[in-house]
Amino acid sequence: MKAEEIIQAMAEQGMRITDQRRTLAELFAKSEGYVTPKAVYEIMGKTYGGLSFDTVYRNLRIMHDMGVLEQFVFEDGIKFRARCSEMDHHHHLICLQCEKTIPFVFCPMDEVKGLPDDFKAVKHKFEIYGYCKDCQK
């Protein structure tokens, strides 16, 4: 996603567009990979001296909840990246070594059997972690 798209999505959700949020949008728009909350805090702290880690993490969670950031759980912790803009509902293959991410459109929810009748699924995630062709060598 481009920074303008992230900012527009935040504004449409009623978020106040502060300089810090604009900087967050630009950071994720420029980043090609995943970014940890700690790295975001360290980058943002260079520009915004009084910024707290809690403020950074709260904004990452808000941006994730509104759909502009995707959150992934790696063995070394949670990481975020800008949402894939070219696709609607999709899932990911993620390389554990280089973190290369390959989106795919197959949805396993279509095949899930045995969910209780009184449960309505409204959201889900499906990632497959492994090693890409280059990292297998």
> What digits encode the pLDDT tens for the residues 52-101?
999 999 999 999 988 889 898 888 889 999 887 665 778 888 998 888 88
State whether 42 and 99 are in the same domain: no
- Give the residue numbers spanning the domain of 115: 91-130
**Residue 84 assigned as binding residue:** no
Based on the fold, state whether residues 57 and 97 are members of the same structural domain: no
Number of domain units in the chain = 2
Whole-model pTM? 0.78
* 108 found inside a domain: yes
98 among annotated binding-site residues = yes
Verify that 10 and 76 share a domain, yes or no: yes
No. of helices (H) and no. of strands (E), the chain: 4, 5
Residue 7: per-residue pLDDT: 92
Residue 63: inside a domain: yes
Instruction: Flag whether 135 is marked binding.
Output: yes
- The reply to whether 137 falls in a domain is no
Burial class of 85 by CB neighbour count within 10 A (0 to 12, 13 to 18, 19+): exposed
